[in-house]
Amino acid sequence: MNESEVKAGLGETNGFNMPWFGFPKFAFGEVAERGAARAKEGCEKAKAVSEDMADALRDAYANNARGAADYGLKMIEISKVNTASALDFVSHLLGSKSMTDVLTVSAAEARKALETTAVQNRELWELASRLARETGEPIKNQVAKVFRQTG
């Protein structure tokens, strides 16, 4: 290798037995530093997003647990009401003195049961809807936040 090749950087290596091809040595260091800084920044952003998503999942889980408990309590309440109603119906039937009384009590009980069931179903539907909304809301908000930040 002659002196002009060494001065041009063609014969000189960068520690990996690769020539510098005339680029100043500091240029590679700057590129590496910028790449490392970008990688570090990307890792920090990913960590922040991950922590925020963990918080959102924790909120979703808490909302789900609370909603499931409310739904379960409503089911117990409905069972209690329906059991009491059934026992009242049997009690009235046993007190009937004629077939007409049995039919009257049965018709009244059927009408009452239909109305009660409609109200109970509406209450359960509202609880289930609230449960789904409150469970999904933290996740939906976090995903929207991530897309706003990256967009």
pLDDT digits (tens, 9 = 90+) for 51-90: 988 988 898 999 899 999 999 999 999 999 999 999 999 9
Residue listed under structure tokens 């500091």:
26
Sequence-separated (6 or more) residues with CB below 8 Å from residue 123: 74, 78
Task: For 32-114, list the strands marked E by DSSP.
Answer: none
What six digits make up the tokens of 87? 């026992």
What kind and span of H or E run contains 30?
A: helix 25-94
Binned at pLDDT 50, 70 and 90, residue 16 comes out as low
Are 73 and 123 in contact by the 8 Å Cβ rule? The answer is no
Q: What is the pLDDT of residue 72?
A: 95
Q: What are phi and psi of 2, to 5 degrees?
A: -95, 175
Dihedral, CA of residue 93, residue 95, residue 99 and residue 102, to nearest 10: -30
Rounded to an integer, what distance in angstroms lies between the CA atom of residue 72 and that of residue 124?
10
Percent over 70 (pLDDT), the chain: 79
CB-based burial of residue 135 (10 Å sphere; 0-12 exposed, 13-18 middle, 19+ buried)?
A: buried
Q: What is the pLDDT of residue 144?
A: 87
Length in residues, the chain: 151
Binned at pLDDT 50, 70 and 90, residue 149 comes out as confident
Percent over 90 (pLDDT), the chain: 48
Are 33 and 105 in contact by the 8 Å Cβ rule? The answer is no
By mean pLDDT, which of 27-31, 36-40, 89-93, 136-140 is the weakest? 27-31
DSSP tag of 148: H
Is the pLDDT at 41 greater than 50? The verdict is: yes
Q: What is the pLDDT of residue 25?
A: 55
Q: What is the mean pLDDT of residues 99-105?
A: 93
pTM for the predicted model, two decimal places: 0.64
